[in-house]
Amino acid sequence: MKIGLVGCGAIGREVALAVDRDIPQLELSIIYDVEKAKIDFLLKSLVKKPKVASGIEEVMREADLVVEAASPKIVGELLTLASKEEKDLLIMSIGGVLDHLELLESIKREGKCKVFFPSGAIAGLDGINAAREKNIKSISITTSKPPQALLNAPYVIQNKIDLKNIKKPTLIFEGNCKQAVKAFPRNINVSATLSLAGIGMEKTNVKIIADPGITKNQHKIEIKGDFGEMEVVVRNVPSLTNPKTSYLAALSAVATLRKIVSPVKIGT
């Protein structure tokens, strides 16, 4: 299977190295990034040199499955191209999907391509998928981050939150997923993933805590339903090449690709 990669940053690099060296059923055939330096840096690490595309349209034409690891801004265009070209798509910038849910529903109906959403920086989606077969009563996620990780978020700027003077764990936001993604577009991809897997954006409760006493991002997920109750806590180590990216998110992309081509699949 030919893999096309859009985005050669921390996650894209992890995917490329795994495909190049460790997943023989896959071939990294073509890559693209708007920043040439990232492409050049990645190519130096690869044994097999893929073609460098001039744009995402070329990637979609030449690959069997395209991995997006670039930006929420291009997700809509990639979904449209995937449907048109009948090519499969793996999306990491899941927050970008929330503005194109009608397009996603159209892809479901037409069945011309498959769209994969890795679990990213959280765990527990297998349990949520199983629980959804009956009634899920509530889903909530509480994300705790060091204050500096929340700098420049639209919500922080608009509400003039002084993150530098926060001395103890402080709840700075509470709302639903739809509100959270707009308020913290670069910080809350995990809630988008959770809402797609569970009961939707408006029913998924999100809390964001600025905690000066931690160095790792923490996500606590709580689900209640007919199955009982579930609680999952993840404390993420940042990527070595991009501290804004959780290492687990990159690994989840690789694991998803491996699962796609594996004849044996474990987990829901």
Amino acid residing at 132:
R
Residue 219 annotated to the active site: yes
**What's residue 241's pLDDT?**
82
- Looking at residue 187, the DSSP 8-state letter turns out to be T
- Looking at residue 50, the DSSP 8-state letter turns out to be P
Q: Which helix (H) or strand (E) holds 166?
A: none
pTM: 0.94
The CATH number assigned to the domain holding 161 equals: 3.30.360.10
Q: Do 13 and 115 fall within a single domain?
A: yes
C-alpha 67/C-alpha 23 separation (Å) is 15
pLDDT(137) > 90: yes
Q: Do 8 and 57 fall within a single domain?
A: yes
The CATH number assigned to the domain holding 104 equals: 3.40.50.720
pLDDT digits (tens, 9 = 90+) for 76-110: 999 999 999 999 999 999 989 998 999 999 999 99
* Residues 143/120, Cβ–Cβ less than 8 Å: no
In order, the DSSP letters of 70-116 are: S-GGGHHHHHHHHHHHT-EEEES-GGGGGG-HHHHHHHHHH-SS-EE
Q: Is residue 178 part of a domain?
A: yes
Q: Do 108 and 177 fall within a single domain?
A: no
Among 172, 219, 239, 257, the active-site one is: 219
Residue 194 structural domain? 125-237
Q: Do 76 and 184 fall within a single domain?
A: no
pLDDT(188) > 80: no
Q: Do 48 and 112 fall within a single domain?
A: yes
C-alpha 20/C-alpha 27 separation (Å) is 7
Q: Do 16 and 114 fall within a single domain?
A: yes
Q: Do 39 and 142 fall within a single domain?
A: no
Q: Do 105 and 184 fall within a single domain?
A: no
**What's residue 75's pLDDT?**
97
**What's residue 181's pLDDT?**
85
Domain count, the chain: 2
**What's residue 182's pLDDT?**
87
- 121: annotated binding-site residue? yes
